[in-house]
Structure 1
Amino acid sequence: MIFLKKLLYYFIIPPGIFIVGFFIGACLLKGWKRYLMIFFAVMLYLFSISPVKDMLIYPIEKDYINLKCDGDIIVVLGGGVYGNGELSEDAFKRVLKGYEKGRGGDKIIIVSGGRVSERYPYEAEVMKTVLVGLGIPEKQIIMDKDSKDTVENAKFTKKIMEEKGINGDVILITSAYHMKRGALIFKKYGFDNICAAATDFRFDGIYSIYDFLPSASNLNTVSKVLKEYMGILFYNIK
């Protein structure tokens, strides 16, 4: 009974309801349109279940699992901020990792993140506020408020360090799914000594029957992973 209730739940909210809709549409159509509907239903289903999500995300996360990391300067990459001034889930986890690496010491922490429009706060300011609230001295935090993407994160972080005469090994902090592309870009901008302190790992590897039901969170993760693959491909081509 519990399984049937959960099954119903998974298929009456997105993306399950859309999968059902595609199959209903396939039944009402004929020829190539029917097969197109079935294709979209199958793809949407596959991209929203845990085993496929793990298959896609493991190759870009595996190098950072249990990786010991230390350095002189901590660089925390932004991951998004809402209009109400709250950090996104990704960004908040990155800031917590920065706090974990910087607490109780005197390491400089560079928080890197601008804003998407005037309606939004500067992400670096929000990140700094969180770190100060957790107990990191304000004097240890440097803000990069100009960056709008990972390339600019690297570019403006490099500029800040050169202008302030900051030298040393960098602890780069970002989400595990984003670390491979982030590290590639930072190395391109001259950060040769990077220690990748990844957080927010999405790989699971242990499944139950419920992991084969469509989930919006899996679909969201897959969309982020595909974006990373595209970014890595673009980087290698460029």
Structure 2
Amino acid sequence: MYSLTVLWHQLLGALLLPPLIYLLPIVLGALLLRRCLRWGSGLLALGVVLGYLLSIPQTAMWLASHVERYPVASAAQLQAVEAIVVLGGGKKPAPEYGRNEPGADTLARLRYGAYLARQTGKPLLVTGGAPLGGEPEGEVMARTLREDYGLTPRWVERRSNTTLENAQFSAALLRRDHIQRIALVSQGWHLARAVPFFERQGLSVLPAPTALIRYDGGGVFWWIPSGRAQQECHSLLREYLGQLFYSVRKDG
């Protein structure tokens, strides 16, 4: 059974994020053209400009610069932690494997979490439930670590449907083993919201960002639209909305 909270977040996000955020002005502008040329053409222009800006690397990097707050964790900092926590970021059906596999965000986090575990010898915790139903992300993550990286996480958290619940349920598991200092692995833009959630659970958190938004080249290449840039703009704007949502919630 899927989470109604996540469904609500998805529906609200669909209205406020690309592609609807620029498609709706285009459609409305086209409908208004005959009745009011000024408003119709203005909305059309707005939609086209937004569509372009939200599909170029330059915008993705600008948006990222305001939420990728944490530097890469150093070796000395990592030696001081007691565990490495990897946040789930989605799963997907994989017919070629006949099962679920990690989504792109989750896979990037798992790869870096495995790298850190091997470098430091620290135990791993993976966290992620099943907000859309089916197999929990935590189970998919644990299986991937075992089969692809030869690592078995010490803790597998399976109940959480949101980042806030990731923190709450993971902290409960860690407290049982008297773990207080953790490295928290996720995309740099996600840690801006995730780190405070874990700190509010009484944990000492070392942010361990991965998949930081960077592009090769420069100059004119950063102004050419691409599918990757559009996807990253979507993720970044969603994170801005997430931060806004939790900033007005007393429990977040």
**Per the shorter chain, which TM-score range?**
0.7 to 0.9
How far does the alpha carbon of each residue in 1:114-171 deviate from its partner, in whole angstroms, 9 at most, with x for none? Answer: 11344x3221111111111244443x43110101110010010011122x32323101
Mean Cα displacement is larger for which, 97-106 or 146-155?
97-106
What's the % identity of the aligned pairs? 26
Aligned position for 1:66 = 72
Q: Is the 8 A contact 2:72 2:209 kept in 1?
A: no
Deviation at 1:55, TM superposition (A): 1.0
Aligned position for 1:158 = 171
1:148 and 1:89 map into 2 onto residues whose CA distance is 18
Aligned position for 2:237 = 226
Segments of 5+ residues of structure 1 without an aligned counterpart are 1-14
Change over 3 Å in CA distance of 1:106–1:214 after alignment to 2: closer
Deviation at 1:175, TM superposition (A): 0.7
Aligned position for 1:78 = 88
Q: Is the 8 A contact 2:129 2:158 kept in 1?
A: yes
Mean Cα displacement is larger for which, 33-42 or 208-217?
208-217
Please give the root-mean-square deviation of Cα atoms over the aligned residues, in Å: 2.8
Deviation at 1:110, TM superposition (A): 0.8
Deviation at 1:183, TM superposition (A): 0.5
Give the partner amino acid of 1:65. P
Aligned position for 1:215 = 226
Give the partner amino acid of 1:214. P
Give the partner amino acid of 1:143. V
Change over 3 Å in CA distance of 1:105–1:183 after alignment to 2: closer
Does 2:107 correspond to 1:92?
A: yes
Aligned position for 2:97 = none
| Paired residues, number | 217
Deviation at 1:225, TM superposition (A): 1.1
2:43 and 2:222 map into 1 onto residues whose CA distance is 26
Deviation at 1:190, TM superposition (A): 1.9
Aligned position for 1:185 = 197
Aligned position for 1:31 = 38
Aligned position for 1:4 = none
1:43 and 1:222 map into 2 onto residues whose CA distance is 11
Aligned position for 2:139 = 125
Deviation at 1:108, TM superposition (A): 2.0
Deviation at 1:33, TM superposition (A): 1.0
The normalised TM-score by structure 1 is 0.80
Q: Is the 8 A contact 2:184 2:206 kept in 1?
A: yes
1:33 and 1:166 map into 2 onto residues whose CA distance is 62
Aligned position for 1:41 = 48
1:135 and 1:211 map into 2 onto residues whose CA distance is 35
Which of residues 192, 197, 202 is equivalent to 2:213?
Answer: 202
Does 2:51 correspond to 1:57?
A: no
**SS, match of residue 102 in structure 2:** coil
Change over 3 Å in CA distance of 1:135–1:211 after alignment to 2: closer
Mean Cα displacement is larger for which, 199-208 or 220-229?
199-208
2:102 and 2:132 map into 1 onto residues whose CA distance is 15
Q: Is the 8 A contact 1:76 1:109 kept in 2?
A: yes
Deviation at 1:228, TM superposition (A): 1.4
Segments of 5+ residues of structure 2 without an aligned counterpart are 1-18, 95-99
Aligned position for 1:11 = none
1:143 and 1:171 map into 2 onto residues whose CA distance is 16
Give the partner amino acid of 1:98. G
1:233 and 1:121 map into 2 onto residues whose CA distance is 30
Give the partner amino acid of 1:126. V
Aligned position for 1:148 = 161
2:235 and 2:148 map into 1 onto residues whose CA distance is 29
Give the partner amino acid of 1:80. G
